[in-house]
Amino acid sequence: MIPLFKDSSQKINNLKQLYSLIHKHGPITKGSLVELSGLKQSTCARLIEELLEEDAILESGLAESSGGRKPLTYQINPRLFYLIGIDISRIYSKILLMDLDLSVLGEARMSMRENSTPELTIDWIQAEVTRLLEKHQIPLSSVLGLGIGAVGPLNRETGMITNPSNFPSIGWRNVPICQILGDYFDRPVLLDNGANTAVLGEYRYGFWTEADSMVYNITGVGIRCGTLANGQVIRGPVDMEGAYGHMTVDIHGKKCTCGRYGCLNAYSTTLAIQEEVMQRLKRGHPSLLRNKGLDVEHIEFTEICAAVKEQDPLCCEVVHEAAYYYGIGLANMMVLLHPNLVVLGGALVTEMDYFYDVTTQTAKEKLGFYPDYPIHFSRGRLGENAIAVGAGSMVFESCLR
Ligand SMILES: [Zn+2]
């Protein structure tokens, strides 16, 4: 391992600072680096030489000149090391092999089913990571580490998935996943909740030159939220990834799985929508679903998505209500955190344009009393890969810290 990624001294810290600036702003000229880093020109030039000698950065062409010779530009060498990002979620798990630019070189995906125990999932990770590295002829020593974004609650310090809710398989209690994979691959393994790695992934992949405070909300079987301020993921003393789902949006509202009343979870998840649709069908509300001869005790989320596309009044009304509550929750969060950007992901957003539209309109309307607040909503640029890309990025970031 080169000193840039392991040592800590004033000189190495200067190298890391310069490398991080080249990573974020590259291709970038020496002049711009002097300006951004505050380092002396001679120090900057010496450190650039050192980074070039270590192959950590590359000369990447010439910049436009304002008169005289065109200056050289620099960018990081994306193939100096590689990253493994892993997403362990309720519906699927995913592995990405990436270079340092977070470009995906290879991937593996597995549906999470009733038999997807920790043992089976970890065996699959070990086999697939090995296969991906062999396929791309990358030795383990060229992998900076493995990052995992999983469903909380979990313990980042001990690297343990403690008790994820709504997993299809049993056995996911107190799983020391970092230790098991660290022993197997002999590389550093880091764990965080998937919402935190997703917000980091989207930020690092494309938004970091545009926004420095972001919120990433995942809404599907459950509601998960990651926040980032001044370019740093906000992490509390304990993992509270799912806490946003227990924000009260109606003090006289429906009962939540936590036993309290009026939580966002009681309205704006796939399970809450399925439950509400089934209740209304049983009460005799007209719906296209009824005409399809479906069992009113078991309406799948995909059937509701299809019905919304066909503008079924019952499903549209239930989804509208779910999105309205979600928009209220978003507005409450934005009043507190005032992020530059809110990224919405998860099955409700990716599968239903209607949900996304009503949610963002509601949040904008609720924040109307601050007309100067620039509100930007996005579905992100990484789609399903956000959690795994961010997990790999977390490893890279920890080496540069
Ligand atoms: Zn609750």
pLDDT digits (tens, 9 = 90+) for 92-110: 999 999 999 999 999 999 9
pLDDT attached to residue 397: 93
CA of 342 to the centre of ligand 1 (A): 22
Q: Is the pLDDT of residue 379 over 90?
A: yes
Would you place residue 67 in the very low, low, confident or very high pLDDT band (cuts 50, 70, 90)?
confident
**8 Å CB contact between 85 and 96:** yes
Task: Indicate the class that CATH gives domain 82-203+385-400.
Answer: alpha beta
pLDDT attached to residue 20: 93
pLDDT digits (tens, 9 = 90+) for 153-187: 899 999 999 988 778 899 999 999 999 999 999 99
CA of 264 to the centre of ligand 1 (A): 7
CA of 220 to the centre of ligand 1 (A): 15
Q: What integer is the mean pLDDT of 8-12? A: 79
With 0.85 as the threshold, say if the pTM is over it: yes
Q: What integer is the mean pLDDT of 257-283? A: 95
pLDDT above 70: percentage of residues in the chain: 99
- Give the gyration radius of the chain's Cα atoms: 23
CA of 329 to the centre of ligand 1 (A): 13
Q: Is the pLDDT of residue 7 over 70?
A: no
Question: Identical fold at 3-76 and 82-203+385-400?
Answer: no
Would you place residue 41 in the very low, low, confident or very high pLDDT band (cuts 50, 70, 90)?
very high
pLDDT digits (tens, 9 = 90+) for 292-328: 888 888 999 999 999 999 999 999 999 999 999 999 9
Which CATH superfamily is 211-382 part of? ATPase, nucleotide binding domain (3.30.420.40)
Q: Domain spans of the chain? A: 3-76, 82-203+385-400, 211-382
CA of 261 to the centre of ligand 1 (A): 7
pLDDT attached to residue 235: 87
> Higher-confidence residue: 88 or 61?
88
Which residues have beta carbons under 5 A from ligand 1 (an ion)? Answer: 246, 256, 258, 260, 263
pLDDT attached to residue 8: 66
CA of 150 to the centre of ligand 1 (A): 20
Q: What is the mean pLDDT of the chain?
A: 92
Q: Is the pLDDT of residue 1 over 70?
A: no
Does CATH number 1.10.10.10 belong to domain 3-76?
yes
- Nearby residues of 97 by Cβ (< 8 Å), 6 or more positions away: 82, 83, 84, 104, 105, 106, 107, 129, 132, 133, 136, 138
CA of 247 to the centre of ligand 1 (A): 7
